[in-house]
Amino acid sequence: MPTILESYQITQILQYRYPFLLIDRVTEYVKDDSLKAVKAVSAGEPYFAGHFPNFPIMPGVLITEALAQASSLMMVLNNLDWKPSDPIPSFHTTTIGVLGNVQISFLKSVLPGSLLELDVKLDWRKGSASSVNVKASVEGSVCAKGKITVMSVDQNTIFS
């Protein structure tokens, strides 16, 4: 699996940091179409201590968040007209957030030690809103799938 963006490069684009950055690297990106990323699910993740002590599984809400972050990253890269051969874009004032429409089905548990593969594909785009088909898999077995709607917002307008 080739690496297009490492986690330190992702932090230059998205404003997430550990422990809430849930993408470790991007392995594929096609402008205005799709993005593939991975999250190494470590046994040392803080949520495993309480979810659940005798049978640790990654919480569904964090799988959903990882898919939302991958969707957001794809949209930011699309907005910046970035190609994998380009240098990492400089900081910008666009924030991508979930618009409120999240439909995810959970099919299998994600256990510590897994390499969670995140696949996002653009469904439609209208203005600053986009619908993204999402899928999370471990070793080719689908753990979660569905659709997330994301929207770009200029930080200058929401924080002024």
Residues with catalytic annotation? 51
Distance, CA of 123 to CA of 32 (rounded, Å): 10
Exposed e or buried b for every residue in 113-136, given b needs 16+ CB within 10 A? ebebbbbbebeeeeeeebbbbbbb
Cis omega (within 30 of 0) on the bond before 19?
Answer: yes
Pair 69, 22: CB distance under 8 Å: yes
Sign of CA dihedral 46, 18, 85, 64: positive
Distance, CA of 118 to CA of 27 (rounded, Å): 10
